[in-house]
Amino acid sequence: MHFHLSKPVHGWREFAGEVAIIVLGVGIALGAEQVIEAAHWNHVVEAESQALGREVQEDRGTLMVRVMMQPCVDRRLAELAEVFRRHDAGQPLGLIAPIGRPTIFTGSKSALEMATADQSLSHMSLVRKQAIFSAYASYDTFIPIAFEERSGWRALQALDHVATLDATDWRDLRKAYDAVVDNNVSMEANLRSEQDGQWLAPFKPFPKPDLARYAKLLRSLPYVQKLCRPALKPRPGTR
């Protein structure tokens, strides 16, 4: 029986050459893996960044909807102030149409949750992450006030059935009106422009939403249509 022994390495130079070949091979393999991983993350981050941009754009649209309704809200609040004045003075209220109310178009955070879960958000630049989180924070500040405002307007719709109201109802209506006025002051003050400190300011780095689409949706909502129509009988001599 013959045993074939592996040939010994002859000298340190040959040994070092073989080690260098091994190291080079490992380095090439690791480098290729890093290139593939970097290409993967570039693709994922780009896709997630676009999804986040679209979601922030829609969230911005929810704020812009409230801006669009501001003239109707101001006009209706002025009419309601006159209704309460007439009620306190024992005069005919002159209500000829439903009160209506503003609406809320809520946004989403699904893209943010996905980008956080798959860690693509952590691969984005610091500037991009700051812009994204600032926009979401602004939306989070706006939305609770919007829901509170909607609740107050829903209470005010009891004036659509004014003949059934008693003293307790009128007291509750006064509270709802005061709360809605406070909400409106906050909305009007913080949605006035895109200057720093305003709720719309963090959205400036992102594309503007299709406002024509939102306007069309608003015009299709019955309670917004009611809000934007006069609710009081015109005074004599006016149109």
Euclidean distance between CA atoms 79 and 74, whole angstroms: 9
In a domain, 4, yes or no: no
216: tokens are: 């069309």
Give dist(CA 230, CA 148) in Å, integer.
Answer: 24
Q: What is the pLDDT of residues 46-99, one digit of tens each?
A: 888 888 899 999 999 999 999 999 999 999 999 999 999 999 999 999 999 999
How many domains is the chain built from?
1
Cα-based distances in Å from 9 to 12, 18, 19:
8, 9, 11
Task: Give the alpha-carbon dihedral of 128, 142, 209, 50, to 10 degrees.
Answer: 30
Alpha carbon 216 to its chain's center: 19
The dihedral built from the CA positions of residue 214, 216, 220 and 223, taken in this order, carries a sign that is positive
pLDDT at 123: 83
Look at residue 33 and tell me if it is in a domain.
Answer: yes
Q: Which of 6-20, 121-135, 172-186 has the highest mean pLDDT?
A: 172-186
In a domain, 27, yes or no: yes
Listed in sequence order, the residues at least 6 apart from 9 whose beta carbon sits closer than 8 Å to its beta carbon are: 15, 18
Range of the domain at 189: 11-227
User: Is residue 233 situated within a structural domain?
Assistant: no
